[in-house]
Chains A and B, each alone.
Chain A
Amino acid sequence: MEKCLIKKDALAGIAKKMTENFLVWAPVKKEDNILFVPLQKGTEPFFAYLNSKNAPKNVFFPHTETMMKYTRTEKGMVFSEDENKAAESVLFGVRPCDAHSFVLLDKLFDQEKYKDGYYIAKRQKTTVISLACVKPPYASCFCTSVDGEPVSSEGADILLTDIGSYYLVEFFTPKGEKLVKYFGDTKADTAAETKKNEIAAKAKAAITSKIPAHVVKPILDKNFDNPFWNTIHGKCLACGTCTYLCPTCHCFDISDEVKGTDGVRIRSWDSCMFPMFTKETSGHNPRPSQKERWRQRTMHKFKYYVDNFNAISCVGCGRCVMYCPVNIDIRKIIEDISKL
């Protein structure tokens, strides 16, 4: 495994250099929001960030995506699969929790039976460069409770760790190693590695917000009908903020749009918090109120995903905690469930 060192201020330059050959997604400060967007001429990446507002899942699973196109002709409809536009890309500087989410999303989109080509094509063509959290970005971060770590290469091809005056650059996969040339030729010594391990241990210990995520699975197995579920949802606005900012939420809707004789079929994000999500044509709704929707969201992350893929579908980034307009705190919910 290659390792090298780069100067602290070199990061932006490297990201910009990569734009010559790749589509580079990097955090950019737009007014008060830090967002992952494709770097263009004139935009500066912003690496002194805590974490981005939106989860970088939109790189592989954009909010809105064309699935196919069709044209109405005299003979009827002619379908054409939208040509696979996935470009060779680099996702530069994601936090380890968000990189962890890609591993979780892979389990769903890259299953044996049904493969989701749209997601997979982008995922395969993208090299993920993680930027380790040497100290927890937010007091509400809880990655260590859900199988994550602030300094972790999971889901990443390359990991950058701030070890003081340098970044230690570690290349974990062949895909990552292809980018070695962008990082200069200062080889890392063992001292750098020791330093990184120290920092990693310290960073891990600094995550003080904890949830009993593994404890709740057997409790959830048995408590579908527990009156506890009546207590969460009262103030829920039924907006989709938590799900839209979540790195692992992946529900989507499919719809058609037409103009003249041309049409497209698009898929776009949907949310289990929306009343229409499960409403059937007959008017019947299997999840009629916010209670069932909250139960679904909690269960999906901490039980159903574990049942199906043996992994908790939460990476502990804390976005839903911080940005919920009415402060419904998943940490408290899990805590309360663990006491049932």
Chain B
Amino acid sequence: MQNPYIPYPVVVDKIITEVDTKDIKTFRFKFVNPEDEAKYSYIPGQFGELSIYGKGESPIGIASSPTQKGYVEFTVQKAGVVTSALHEMEEGTVMGLRGPLGNSWPLEFLEGKNIVIVGGGFAFTTLRSLINYMIHDDNRKRFGNITVIYGARNPGLLLYKDELTEWGKRSDLNLNVTVDKGDANWKGREGFVPAVCKEVAPSKENAVAVICGPPVMIRFTLPVFFDLGFSKENIITSLEMRMKCGVGKCGRCNVGSKYVCKDGPVFSLAELDKLTPEY
């Protein structure tokens, strides 16, 4: 029996500073024991508990896609004890990784449908995992049109800039990047995510919207999708809660009878409606 509380040893392979403010970095981990990688088979939308010596654990969504072999990536904002310690880490350090935990983006449900992905700010990480999974050569034909709407406060805060450039060149992906306020070098779109959604106006036909972002963005984006005719079953989002164990036992992340760590973090709006509004 695998003890779900014991982390796999991983080595920090690469650290990429994502944003100008330097408080969001992407960490690439490699497993110390190669056999652990197979055990850590995950699906986009799941999360892991990053475990740092003497500091504790922090639940973070997996930012890489399972199609990217040999490593796992997490994009982490510096905030609390663990994430601050993580930001101090150097490449080559060994730390712990637990998981994969939680459910995932509902890939089977998404299959054969047109996908609209809406992300805001730092919450784009697990969406990136999903996008990379879907556009992989092995998987691309399983999904219909893919529309991505991604916004950040300013160009400096956009994550995965190189990848965004790559995606922009693709013909099988409709990428819309926007910033609230551009700078002198910004040639792209300006405007808030809800407004861009309205402008792009993805069709509701056979479509699913996957939305992830700060609460205020979600609050204004949802009405746009309702206006476009999306049903609550076809809007999917991911919740965040304070977590410790990650396996539905320690008792703090429940929303009603559901544990966000075990039964979530991904819920459709229809499912969320059934839960108590305590998140």
Contacts and interface: CB of A to CB of B under 8 A. Distances in A.
Nearest to A250: B251
A340 B240 CA distance: 32
Secondary structure at the B interface, as helix, strand, loop or mixed, is: loop
Contacts of B93: 76
Interface stretch (A6-14, A49-57, A65-73, A87-95): A65-73
A115 B4 contact: yes
Nearest to A252: B250
A282 B79 contact: yes
B256 interface: yes
Given A117-B3, A254-B57, A256-B56, A75 B94 contact: yes
Contacts of A67: 5-6
Contact of B249 (A250, A258, A272): A250
B5 A256 contact: no
Contacts of A109: 249
16 contacts: A67-B5, A67-B6, A70-B53, A78-B9, A116-B4, A252-B249, A252-B251, A258-B54, A270-B250, A277-B242, A278-B242, A280-B240, A281-B80, A281-B242, A287-B278, A292-B278
A256 B57 CA distance: 9
A108 interface: yes
Interface string B267-278: 000000000111
Contacts of A108: 249
A254 B4 CA distance: 13
A2 interface: no
A81 B3 CA distance: 9
Contacts of A286: 241-242, 255, 278-279
A96 to B, nearest CB: 25
Contacts of A224: 256, 276-277
A77 B257 contact: no
B1 A77 contact: no
Interface of B: 1, 3-7, 9, 11, 32, 52-57, 79-80, 83, 93-96, 240-242, 244-245, 247-257, 262, 276-279
Which 4 pairs of residues, A with B, have the shortest CB-CB distance? A76-B94, A251-B251, A258-B54, A307-B257
Given A67-B6, A114-B249, A251-B252, 20 more contacts: A76-B9, A79-B6, A116-B4, A117-B3, A251-B250, A252-B244, A254-B56, A254-B57, A258-B53, A263-B54, A267-B250, A272-B252, A279-B242, A280-B240, A280-B241, A286-B255, A287-B278, A300-B251, A303-B257, A307-B256
